[in-house]
Every structure is written in structure tokens, then in C-alpha cells.
Chains A and B, each alone.
Chain A
Amino acid sequence: MGFERDNTASEEVLRRDFLRQIYAASAAAWMSSEPKSLMGSEIKETENSGGALRTEPTADACILLWMGGGMAAPDTFDPKHYIPFRKGLPVREMLSTFPAIDTAVSGLRICQGLERIASVMDRGTLIRSAVQEDLGSILHSRHQYHWHTGYVPPQTVACPHLGSWIAKVLGRRDSVIPPFINIGQRLEGVGESEELKAFTTAGFFGSEYGPMNLPVPMDAAKAVLPPAGMTDRRFSERRNLYKRLLDARESRDQVSDYQTNSILRSIDNAHELLSSKDRHAFDLSREDEGSRRLYGETRFGQGCLLARRLVESGARFVEVTTEYVPFLHWDTHANGHETVARMHRDIDAPIAQLVLDLESRGLLDRTLVVIASEFSRDALIEGVPGSNAADQATEKVEAVSEMKHYGLHRHFTGGTSVALFGGGMKRGFVYGKTADQRPLVAVENPVTIADLHATILTAMGISPQTGFEVEGRPFYVTKDGTGKSVNELFASS
């Protein structure tokens, strides 16, 4: 007898209810070493606490489009005076290396090369005043860790990724799709992979809430298929054998204990996903050729398409990255202009298409799409003015003498752009501002990582003061519970 996979609708609903229950049970904190929610414990909430772990959400799912490596705001979402390439151009005069173009929002201009995104800016909110901390020496890995966990490394406990917090507090949606899926970042065989792994984790929450990593979106289907070389039929026969052997045990007295049940539930959960119809969401080959092309044949483009499919099938939090590899992609330490022009091509169509597809499916209202990076870039200043960040530009010249000198080659933490689409955010709205002349720091409404996280979490219905007790100490989803949601960004405000 094969494993039944095509249940009737009502059975499907029943099964899902059942799944939710067993999922919750298998994830229950039953050992005292697991983090406990602070709610209801004797530790008091911070005084600015919202009072509850959960608030009314404006989004059910979140897609983080991660521009790993440091996306230069002046060459993307925050154009300054355009200075074209010319031999002998003094570097100190260089501001933006792309001209600005109009967008669907009157008066809002972004950089040339992002025409498709420009056409959907009326669906989103643009923050131009995101700021990051100057960590002395600006390093991608530390800033990425900070951005993804809300905490500056090193920390005394292993901090969970933002996606793990969301998975822990909200769990799965009405679906077998794991709550936290991470697309596009290879964690083996790339530079700084150990540093990447350090925040690509559920940390102290344990791997139940960790990311399901899909480094190559085109191969995602494989992650939910039986192992290579195993047919579906054999896969279900194997499961059948497993169950029959368990049933054949002579002494079944121990089968009822908690730990055994917990193991069996997890194995069941896994098989439910590996045998459910929802797993087809992972399979890009089921998308018709035309819509695949709309997203572009890059890993990032296909990652965006995969994210859309997963959210359609009930994913909770999906991160899609352009991938951080030292000195590649957004990590423009040299030849910045030409590299950014290529990055524009990589992201423009997929991001716009993702927004449009979500909208046409009626999902954009309840899906928050976030475009962010660990910091911005500048041609001249490393860190923020007056910082002691070490200069890591590889092409240090006073004047541009060839094309590879033309670009924004230095890490800059004083003013970064973040775009938010859907999920309850205002539409066609711009928040904050950076100076028009160097230093290009945020001069209005600076938004820290803690506040940005608070905003995302609030949209998802999670209080920024949500905390858990870890090793006896309180640990909060935003740094020490201090993150404050930027309420002006919400459509309802």
C-alpha cells in the first residue's frame, strides 16, 4: 500500500489541524534548559512593554530581500548629485555614479537601472534614514550578524536570527511549509562562511526554529523530495516498513512516553512535508516558462520566484539574498559603478515582479517585503564622520584615472535605504532623509536596526518587547527590548 497523498479537502483540513497540534507539542519547552517565555514568569517586563507577546498583525508573512555586501544607497534608492565618469575626477567630488529617474510616486526619484522597481514604488514605503552602528572596524560579518539578530557580536549566548524569532513566536501558518526558509546563501565553500553560519541559526531556540537553507533555488525541489535515486514509491514503502516495525515491537510500553512521541511526531512532521502537495511550492519547474523568465534566470531572481511560491503556500518568513561572498556582488571595493550596474540588472525585474505577483494574487496586503543591506557605501568616508573605522577600500586614489576607480568603495553606516512593500505599510511614502552633501548621513528621523526590527515585528504581530529567559537572564527580540516601531510607516497610522 502506498502512502496516501491526495486527500480530500476535508481530510486535508483535519490533517492540518492535527499537524498544528502535534507541531506545537513537539516544540514544547519540556526541558528546563529550553528558553522560557518571560510572559507569566516572575521577571517583569520592561516598562515600555506593549504588554503582550502578540499584537494585532498587519502581515502574516515576511519576505526579506537581502542585499548582502553593502548596497550603496546613493547608487540605488537615494540618488545624490550625479557625477559622470571622467578621467581625473577627484574622488571627493563623487556622490552618485548613476543619474536619477522618476518613479511611480511623484517627486520620488531613484537611480537609473531600477526602472522596474521605480514603477512599483507606489506600492511601498522607502526609508532613507536607516542607520547602523559603527563597530570600529566595519566588517560585513559583524554588521550582518547585527542586522539579522539585532545584537552586535560577540554575544554570550547564541543569538537567534530574526526569522527564528518569528518562527518561535508565530510558528507555521496554516501549512506544512517550515516557518523559516533561507534562500540563496551558500554556507559552505564561500569566504567567511563560519561568520555567516554564526547568525544563520536559531541560536538558543534550538534547531526546530532554525532556517531551512536552500542555497540554490533551482534545486529547492530536491530538498523536499526523497533522497537522490529514491522513488516516491520506495519512499513511502520505507515509511511503511518503519511503522510496521514499530508496531511489531514486543514491548510497546515505552512507545507512549513523551520523548518517544516527540521523536515520532518530528519524523511524522517531516514526512508530511515530504509527501504533501505543499512541497510542490519548492519546485520551480512547475512554474510556467514565461513567469520564470519574468524573474530572470539568476539565483536571486529565481529565489524571489521561489519566495512567492512559498508564501502562496503558507511560508511565514523567507529570506532571499543576492548572496554575500567577499568582494563579489554588493561588496564593491573596486569597480563599483560597473558592478552596481550589474546588480541593478539582477534585482530590478525580480523585485518588481515579486511585488506585482503578490499584488495580483491578493497577497501583498498581508505580506511584508523588506529590501535591506548591512550598510551603505560612500566614495570617501569609511564609517560615519569622526568614526575610527578602518578604511577598507581597495582602490585608494585621489582622482579617478580609470573606470575601476569609479564607484562607492567604502563602507558607510551613517545613512542607508530600506524599502518596504505591502504588509500594512503606507504606499508611495518616503520616510527620513540623508544630507545632499557629504557626509551623507541621515538628517531626519534616523531608524536604528532595533527600530527597524520593531517595525517589522509589529507588522507581524509580535511585540518588540517580546523576551525569553535564557540561562536565567531575559533576552529580548529587539536589543534589550528597546526597539520602537516606527508607527508613521503603517498605513493605519
Chain B
Amino acid sequence: MIEPLWEVFIRSRRGLSHVHVGSLHAPDATMALRNARDVYTRRQEGVSIWVVPATDITASSPDEKDEFFDPAGDKVYRHPTFYQVPEGVDHL
């Protein structure tokens, strides 16, 4: 029996955002959360877990790569590289 696929997001500590770490199979959300705890946080990787059914994720298509991403390629002025980061600000 192939069980539904779940995408797993872990927050490694307070103040950071959840980051995608991988996926797993589970029959339902409750079990997916527990499986994620066992598979992805057994070495103290996290303080919070989200699981999302993989089928609920809408992904961009590799075929649309050019029109999606290329136009941003030559617009360096969109990077905040022209500012001085104030001293003592670590996580900007």
C-alpha cells in the first residue's frame, strides 16, 4: 500500500522560520507529524514541525523557467547591496 506523501518543514529554533527538510509517507496528518518527529528531529534539529500534503503544493514548472526567472537576472538594483548594514545587526 502506498500511503500519501507529506512535505516536512522544521523550525530549528525560536525566531527562525520553518524550512523544508524533506518528505515522508504517512496515512494521515497525525501520523505524518509523528513520523517527521522520528525521522527529522532525532538529533535535536527542531522545536516545531509542519507537515503539508504534497498534493497541496502548487509548484512552478521547469518549462516556465525562462519567463519566470530570467527577467530578474539583470536587475542588480533590486539587491539591497547599496546600503550600509548598521553595526551590531546580525540577521538582516
Q: Is chain B found bound to chain A in the same assembly?
A: no
